[in-house]
Structure 1
Amino acid sequence: MISLTRLSGTAFLLNADLIERVDCTPDTVVTLVDGTKYLVSESLGEVLESVVRYRASIVAYSALPEAATLPTLRPGPVRASRLAAVPPAVHLPIDRGGTP
């Protein structure tokens, strides 16, 4: 969740995963995937920074050793994070169905 401020000055939390786009017209308009629109006092850059920080915090939090010991909502053992860097892509020739 990211914290934003309505033009009236009231703060609210918004699920950043539901943001479809952010427009600056000149007020900042946050549009969600369901079409809901919010006019916020933060600039386009501030909204972007909030979303980037939110997503980075999720990745950073999942890499913490103590994150593996947190309770879960589903029964069963808690597994440690298995985040890893993705190796570079291997470029193989594409078979286009021609003659060898």
Structure 2
Amino acid sequence: MIVVTRLNDSQFAINPDLIERIHASPDTTLVMVDGAKFIVIETLDEIIEKIARFRAHVISLASLTDDRDYRSGARSLEIPMGPHAIEDELEPGSGQRPRRL
């Protein structure tokens, strides 16, 4: 999930896999696969960056997970949760590189 902000400054999380397209004219509008539309204050580039970071985070977690633990239901690592989990994984001040878990 990525966190986005409505024009009234309320935040909500949205599944980026359900975004069909993004318009920026002039406000950024997320058009979902079911036809729902959300106008947000983030720019088109910011939304694309959030989606890329979210997907990179999912891939990095998958590479750290042992398949045997997944099948047995045991947790082998703490998975960061919450609306800002991806941002919390970054090195302080860098905004670029995730910390190692």
Output the TM-score relative to the length of structure 2.
0.66
The structure that is helix-richer by fraction is: 2
Secondary structure class of the residue paired with 2:42: coil
Shift of the 35–67 alpha-carbon distance from structure 1 to 2, 3 Å rule, reads same
Paired positions, count:
73
> 1:34 is matched by which residue type in structure 2?
D
- Using a 3 Å threshold, how does the CA distance of structure 1 residues 16 and 68 change in structure 2: closer, same or farther? farther
Determine whether 1:33 maps to 2:33.
yes
Structure 1 contact 61–67 (Cα < 8 Å) conserved: no
SS in 1 for 2:8: coil
Q: 1:48 to 1:68 in 2, by over 3 A?
A: farther
In structure 1, runs of 5+ residues without a counterpart are 71-75, 79-100
The answer to whether residue 50 in structure 2 is matched with residue 50 in structure 1 is yes
> Judging changes above 3 Å, is the alpha-carbon distance between structure 1 residues 21 and 41 closer, same or farther for their aligned structure 2 residues?
same
Distance of 1:54 and 1:67 partners within structure 2? 21
1:63 maps onto 2:63 in alignment:
yes
- Distance 1:63-1:28 versus aligned 2 partners, 3 A rule: same
CA RMSD of the aligned region, Å? 1.8
Structure number with greater Rg is 1
Structure 1 pair 52/68, CA: closer, same or farther in 2 (3 Å)? farther
The residue number in structure 2 matching 1:96 is none
Q: 1:65 to 1:10 in 2, by over 3 A?
A: same
Q: Which runs of 4+ in 1 moved over 6 A?
A: none
Unmatched segments (≥5 aa) in structure 2: 74-101
Alpha carbons of 1:67 and 1:49: their partners in 2 closer, same or farther (altered >3 Å)? farther
In 1, the alpha carbon distance for the partners of 2:31 and 2:58 equals 22
